């Protein structure tokens, strides 16, 4: 059974940093691109950053230059380093494969950027 567990969220002031982690159980990790997504109330979940199995990355325009996605294949973990956080980054953050599988959505981790 595949499980994705997100962690690392919290409350941070504008301009601060957080690092999110997503640990993947099961055998999907090494062969799939992984992504970080976020959702705020009343809005659709959006892809924030993605990393392919070859290490290539892509980012939403709103986070380019501030967020960095990385992966540790030995630990089956994907990370999202978030710097220069803004109030508009406030959301619940989730990870999933880039070819989204509904069954993989976890509980997410709440990120709140506020002074």
* Mean pLDDT, 10 residues at a time, the chain of 115 residues: 92 98 81 91 95 94 98 92 98 94 93 97
What is the spatial distance between Cα 86 and Cα 76, in angstroms, rounded to a whole number?
29
Please report the pLDDT score of residue 29 as a whole number: 63
What is the spatial distance between Cα 75 and Cα 52, in angstroms, rounded to a whole number?
16
Closest C-alpha among 18, 21, 23, 31 to residue 2: 23
Please report the pLDDT score of residue 57 as a whole number: 97
Give every CB contact of residue 6 below 8 A, 6+ residues apart in sequence: 20, 21, 22, 93, 94, 95, 106, 107, 108, 109
Please report the pLDDT score of residue 30 as a whole number: 65
């Amino acid at each position: 059974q595949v499980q994705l567990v997100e962690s690392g969220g919290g409350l941070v002031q504008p301009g601060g940093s957080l690092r999110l982690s997503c640990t993947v159980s099961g055998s999907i990790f090494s062969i799939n691109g992984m992504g970080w997504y976020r959702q705020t109330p009343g809005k659709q979940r959006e892809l924030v950053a993605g990393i392919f199995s070859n290490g290539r990355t892509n980012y939403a325009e709103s986070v380019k230059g501030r967020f960095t996605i990385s992966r540790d294949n030995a630990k089956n973990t994907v990370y999202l380093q978030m710097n220069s956080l803004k109030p508009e980054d406030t959301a619940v953050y989730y990870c999933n494969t880039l070819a989204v599988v509904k069954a993989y959505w976890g509980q997410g981790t709440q990120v709140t950027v506020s002074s």
